Structure formats: C-alpha cells, structure tokens
C-alpha cells in the first residue's frame, strides 16, 4: 500500500492530511511548528523531523505551503524534500505557486529520479475539511493515476490538465471568473438598493433563477450587513486578477471586464480592505 507524506499543516494542510488518515492511509507528516502535528499523530500519523525525512519515509509526498518562498525552502533546503526523495517516488505540490516556481521544482525532482505533479486546489477551508476540494493536476500523468485514491479521500474531483503550469493557469481562470462575477454582483446589489429594492429579495430572486450560485448564496447576506469575513482575502483576488491580465497580455487577448474589475479591487485595497474577503469590494462599489 502506498505510503503518503504530507508537509505543511496549516488550515488547509491539516484538514487534508486528516482526511487521508481517516480514509485509512499510512501518513508521515511534518510541519515547521511541530505542535500542528499532534492532532494528526492522535489519528495515527508518523511525525517526521524534516521534509527530507518525510520524503524518505514516503512513496508520495504532498506539500501544502503558504507561498512560493516556503515551497522553494521545503524543496531545496538543506533538510529539504530533494535530499530525501528516492527514484520513482512522487512529489505533489498543492500550494498555490506560479508556473516558474513549479517548473523549477519539477526539474529538480526529476533530476533526482522522482516524479512531480502540481495539483493546486479549488476550494478553501470548508471544502478542505469536508473532503470536497477540486484538484487541478498537471505534470507526471502516471503519478496522477496512481494517486487517485488519495485525491478521492481529500476531494470531490480531480482532473489532469497536461504539462506543468496548466494547473496553475486553470486556477487563475477560475479565480478571475469568480472575481468578475463578484464585481458584477456588487453593482447589481448597489443599484437595487439605491433604487429602493430590498437586498434580501434581490438575493432570493437571483437564487431562484439562472444566475443562482453558491458564492452569491453564501456571501450575499453578510455583504448586505457590511460583513466580509475573509474566506479568500481581497488582496489575493486582486493579485489573481492582475496575473490573469498579464497572461492575456502575453497571449494578445484583451480582457476589458477583468481590467475594469481589477481597478475596483485595487481601489478597495487602497481603501483598507485588503485583508477582508474579496466581497468587500461591495463597499467601494456602493460608495459606502
């Protein structure tokens, strides 16, 4: 049976590793702050001293880290994954990293005889806990196939998208659509409320029609109350809008709506909402 490793046990990683263990897999875990390992050890996880040790003890190691710098350190560091990975073993990066970082890790892993997959996820805290993430995988297809059972334990869907970089790109496309939809939603709500319509009724009617979607359903009511608890921080959404525009730039594709929405997200950041949920652009759109 495949032995799994998991490095990075933040909000997302902890929930994901928990689901792997609950599904009956053998899992070795590591986290910079080791106290995050306790709940997993209680579920039967082995606790390693380093990324190197984790990779050495595992057939396939998952990483779920906070940013590209952490990904590079965990991979290339003196006690990093590259020092422990054995030929034929797999390394799966689920952190949200740019294509260039992903490619440099991919090349280093392959040079050691390992196999690499990028597998960023669509979904945040709640789907991670519920085993309802969507994995956007790209890279080594054989590794993807062999890891199906683990993806099933942590997610409701997993897809193979081709060469390294395509997983990151798909995530960008999904996020820019979410970002644009939110901006449009806010303009509609603002116009409705200024027209004297009840915001709650607007939400109810939207939810009964062709536009009905989980995002409007979950975020709409708090937005009307001026509450924007961060599920996906506004500054991250603005960064993704920016990256999508840069990608369109490279490909010669004008993206008028995305460019317009991006400026509004920038305005919201400047107005101090960068750490609030991205739905906080409602505040600048309705002009408070």
So which residues are the catalytic ones? 171
Give the per-residue contact string, 160-199, with its own copies (x = CB under 8 A; - = no): -xx---x--xx-xxx-xxx-xx-xxx-xxxxxx-xxxxx-
DSSP per position, 28-58: EEE-SSGGGGHHHHHTT-EE-SSHHHHHHT-
Inter-CA distances, 203 with 6, 194, 280, Å: 41, 15, 17
Q: What are phi and psi of 212, to 5 degrees?
A: -55, 125
193, 285 contact by CB (below 8 A): no
Cβ-based nearer residue to its own copies, 142 or 260: 260
d(CA 28, CA 39): 13
Taking the complex as a whole, the smallest distance from the CB of residue 59 to its own copies amounts, in Å, to 28
96, 124 contact by CB (below 8 A): no
Cβ-based nearer residue to its own copies, 87 or 252: 252
265, 234 contact by CB (below 8 A): yes
Binding to its own copies (CB under 8 A) within 30-69 occurs at none
Q: How many CB atoms lie within 10 A of CB 30?
A: 29
Q: Which of 22, 86, 125, 157 binds its own copies (CB under 8 A)?
A: 157
Binding to its own copies (CB under 8 A) within 191-250 occurs at 191-192, 194-198, 201-202, 204-206, 208-215, 218, 242, 244, 247-249
Cβ-based nearer residue to its own copies, 50 or 273: 273
Binding to its own copies (CB under 8 A) within 118-137 occurs at 122-123, 134, 136
What burial class does residue 164 get, using C-beta atoms within 10 Å of its C-beta: 0-12 exposed, 13-18 middle, 19+ buried? buried
Task: Check binding of 1 to its own copies (CB under 8 A).
Answer: no
Cβ-based nearer residue to its own copies, 85 or 133: 133
Taking the complex as a whole, the smallest distance from the CB of residue 231 to its own copies amounts, in Å, to 9
Task: Check binding of 260 to its own copies (CB under 8 A).
Answer: yes
- The three-state secondary structure class of 194 is helix
Task: Check binding of 23 to its own copies (CB under 8 A).
Answer: no
Task: Check binding of 280 to its own copies (CB under 8 A).
Answer: no
């Amino acid at each position: 049976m495949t032995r799994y490793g998991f490095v990075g046990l933040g909000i997302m990683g902890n929930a994901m590793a928990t689901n792997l263990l609950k599904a009956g897999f053998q899992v070795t875990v590591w986290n910079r702050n080791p106290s995050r390992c306790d709940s997993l050890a209680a579920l039967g996880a082995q606790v390693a001293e380093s990324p190197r040790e984790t990779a050495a003890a595992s057939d396939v190691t998952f990483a779920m880290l906070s940013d590209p710098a952490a990904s590079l350190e965990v991979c290339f560091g003196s006690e990093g994954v590259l020092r422990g990975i054995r030929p034929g073993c797999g390394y799966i990066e689920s952190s949200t990293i740019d294509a260039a970082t992903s490619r440099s890790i991919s090349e280093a892993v392959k040079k050691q005889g390992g196999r690499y997959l990028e597998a960023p996820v669509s979904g945040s805290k709640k789907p991670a806990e519920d085993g309802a993430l969507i994995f956007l995988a790209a890279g080594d297809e054989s590794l993807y196939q062999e890891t199906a059972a683990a993806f099933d334990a942590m997610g409701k869907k997993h897809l193979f998208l081709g060469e390294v970089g395509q997983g990151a790109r798909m995530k960008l496309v999904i996020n820019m659509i979410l970002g644009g939809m939110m901006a449009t939603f806010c303009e509609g709500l603002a116009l409705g409320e200024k027209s004297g319509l009840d915001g709650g009724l607007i939400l109810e009617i939207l939810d009964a029609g062709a536009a009905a979607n989980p995002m409007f359903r979950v975020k709409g009511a708090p937005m009307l109350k001026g509450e924007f608890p961060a599920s996906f921080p506004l500054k991250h959404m603005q960064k993704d809008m920016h990256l999508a525009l840069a990608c369109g730039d490279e490909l010669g594709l004008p993206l008028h709506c995305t460019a317009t929405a991006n400026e509004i997200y920038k305005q919201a950041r400047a107005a101090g909402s960068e750490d609030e949920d991205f739905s906080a652009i409602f505040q600048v759109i309705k002009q408070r």
